[in-house]
Amino acid sequence: MAIAVVDYLVMNELGRIDLGGVRIEPNLVLAPMAGVTDSPFRRLIKELGGVGLIVTEFISVEGLTRGNMRTHRMMRFLPEERPISIQIFGYDVDRMVMAAEAIEECGADIIDINCGCPAKRVVRGGGGSSLLRDLPQLERILSRIRQAVSIPVTMKIRIGWDESSINAVEVARIIQGSGGAMVAIHGRTRVQGYSGLANWDVISQVKSAVSIPVVGCGDVTSPDQAIARFRETGVDGVMIGRGAIANPWIFRQTRERALGQAVYDPPLPEKRRVLHRYHELLREELPEKALIGKLKQLCGSFTHGLDGGARLRERVFHSQQIAEAYEIIDEYFDSMIETGRPPEWLIRREIPRSGLKAPVQASYTES
């Protein structure tokens, strides 16, 4: 009986967030990840279903306000990506305002201010999680942007700079008092980076302290973990980053789990289809030379847990051309689908055709 009541409550919690005229439904959010959440990846996640909001990889206000064309291209999105939040980072108030105005002009639904990125290059410039140690500047930035634009403005933060200065509750109250529409919290400190475990107890404390929507983030890699976060903390939404790279169906699966439906388990042909679909989306945005790195990035996380997946990744990482990479991928999936076993070259552990050392797997920063 108790379990049934909890499940009923979760089904009601996994609903929507309303930010003015922007509806986030379901209340599951794709986290901003530098080098990952570009338009092709965002569209792939949207196509697979279950995500209510997607956030772009963070954009430098310095590049945006100084006419850097690559930075401006990062703002581009397609209608099927809506609702979309464009995230910016920086320190200078005037440039942050100019960037926010440009984002509103380009038609984005939400502006998100990054106050959580731990990367040294961002922190050195006063942006990202550095703002957690400069709350007056954080407040000035948010207040000025709220005065300048009419669309919702949100912030993504960490729980604090380090264990001795956990101030997420104080920061969230400032965000609420300055007109912020929502706060997303990664449950680690800046000093932690991505090590250790996310502290959802602090996220729960923030939820109890403010009335604006609170979205929690950190260590959510399965539908059951996402549901558990709703149950344990009462957050208004859950944000998923690395878990969506390894399993891009996680949003759909979480929604199905919450509604008491059968949870979709993608068969091998569907996994192969998604890898090919990602290539199609990338081709619309990137030159051929850049495609191979992006494919390796997704393949590296996407194939964990598959029989022979480690050897498959090794072969794909050794490939030098996109056609070679897909030949390897298709051989693998053909064999697995037809025989239930990896192809013979995986079993024999042949030396990769290129004979070169496998390139380092692409990295990213959740922003």
> Active-site residues: which are they?
117
**By the 8 A CB rule, do 67 and 91 touch?**
no
For tokens 């049934």, name the residue: 4
**By the 8 A CB rule, do 207 and 179 touch?**
no
**By the 8 A CB rule, do 125 and 91 touch?**
yes
Please name the helix (run of DSSP H) or strand (run of DSSP E) that holds residue 112, with its range, or none: strand 110-115
The β-bridge partners of 59 are 88
Beta strands per DSSP E along 48-144:
53-55, 59-60, 84-89, 110-115
Backbone angles phi, psi at 35, to 5 degrees: 80, 0
User: Would residue 56 be called left, alpha or beta, if left means φ above 0 and alpha means ψ between -120 and 50 degrees?
Assistant: beta
Short-list 288, 338, 295, CA closest to 313: 295
